[in-house]
Amino acid sequence: MDIGFIGLGNMGYPMARRLVEAGHKLIVYDTSGQMMSRLTAIGTVAAKSARDVADQVETVMASLPTPDIVLAVATGKDGVIEGKKVKRFLDLSTTGARMATRVAAALQEKNIAGIDLPVSGGVGGAEKGTLAVMYAGPRDGFEELKPVLSVIGKPFFIGDKPGMGQTMKLCNNLLSAAAMALSSEVMVMGTKAGLDPATMVDVINAGSGANTAVRDKFPRAVMPGTFDYGFYTGLMYKDVRLCVEEGESLGVPMPVAGAVHQMWLLANAELGPGSDFTEITKIIERWAGVEVRSKKK
């Protein structure tokens, strides 16, 4: 299939690369010429703008960092909405249900289908093609796109209305954010009490407290002290904020989510939005005066 791909960041680049390697023809665009060059070196065609992408292909995918950027790329000047050939816009970003609905409504006025298609699984999942791919849009379109989506992960049909995929993604990411924040607290507490972090990881993962942070993020990025998991604090804060806002708009009390939101608000302010999100552990470490690190052998 001929596919346009906009946004070649930490998540977008490996997804686009996998599509190329699977034999699909890609027209790519990113504000970073370096990222486009990495893909043109393996056979993609570089476009000059989002509109240029949409002039050349019927199916355009996008992986972008914020709701406002998605809105501009999809519906703004020189955006996808001005393309001559595009028939559907698949948004892999996390924007929240209200923005997904807004973008889809604007595109529909130009007879372009707006597909709400967030993904989850991190950079590792994008590289391995094991992402959870959450499709919200026409059912017949899901069946048609399933072979393409299967290249980047496991596709799930969430519902036929744009926004439903975003709600699913935000529920997932809130749980991930809560796991990282609370795991930071317990891992620091155990370490200060004299427990071996590696033993803590093994026990928790074998017990009822098992979660993604202790299973993957601590052994990979916190305990070695690298803090290089590949997802930004600012993006995690954005996802938590969007989820809390959606809960409020639906009239759902979320007091625990509120506490998680406050912790990520603090992390974003102290560490900066460009920090790796595993660095939230550093805040607890500093307060406690101890570091959760692997013991040198």
122: confidence class by pLDDT, cuts 50, 70, 90: confident
pLDDT of residue 175: 97
Question: Which of 92, 70, 116 is CA-nearest to residue 15?
Answer: 92
Of 58-67, 101-110, 118-127, 214-223, minimum mean pLDDT range: 118-127
Cα–Cα distance measured from residue 187 to residue 198, given in angstroms and rounded to the nearest whole number:
10
Q: What is the pTM of this model?
A: 0.91
Residue 96, C-beta contacts closer than 8 angstroms, at least 6 positions apart: 67, 166, 170, 242, 245, 246
Q: Which of 84, 128, 161, 169 is catalytic?
A: 169
Residue 297 bears catalytic tag: no
Confidence of residue 32 (pLDDT cuts 50, 70, 90): confident
Model pLDDT for residues 234-272, shown as the tens digit of each residue: 999 999 999 999 999 999 999 999 999 999 999 999 999
Pairing assessment for the beta strands 2-6 and 59-62 based on DSSP bridges: parallel
What pLDDT does residue 212 have? Answer: 94
As a dihedral over the C-alpha atoms of residue 150, residue 81, residue 109, residue 145, rounded to 10 degrees, the angle is -10
Kindly list the domain boundaries of the chain, sorted by start residue.
2-161, 167-288
HSE-up of 193 (CA within 13 Å, CB side)?
A: 9
Fold of the CATH domain 167-288: N-(1-d-carboxylethyl)-l-norvaline Dehydrogenase; domain 2 (1.10.1040)
Q: Do domains 2-161 and 167-288 have the same CATH topology?
A: no
- Residue 292 structure tokens: 């959760």
Kindly indicate the confidence band of residue 296, based on its pLDDT and cuts at 50, 70 and 90: low
- 254: burial class by Cβ within 10 Å (0-12, 13-18, 19+)? middle
- In the numeric block, the tokens 């974003």 are attached to 268
Look up the CATH number of domain 2-161.
3.40.50.720
Average pLDDT value for the chain:
95
| pLDDT band at residue 230 using 50, 70 and 90 as cut-offs | confident
SS (H, E, C) 124-152: HHHHHCCEEEEEECCHHHHHHHHHHHHHH
Give me the pLDDT at residue 297, please. Answer: 53
Tokens of 275: 């920090």
Average pLDDT over every residue of 140-160:
96
> How much is the pLDDT for 295?
81
Measure the CA–CA gap between 7 and 16, rounded to whole angstroms: 9
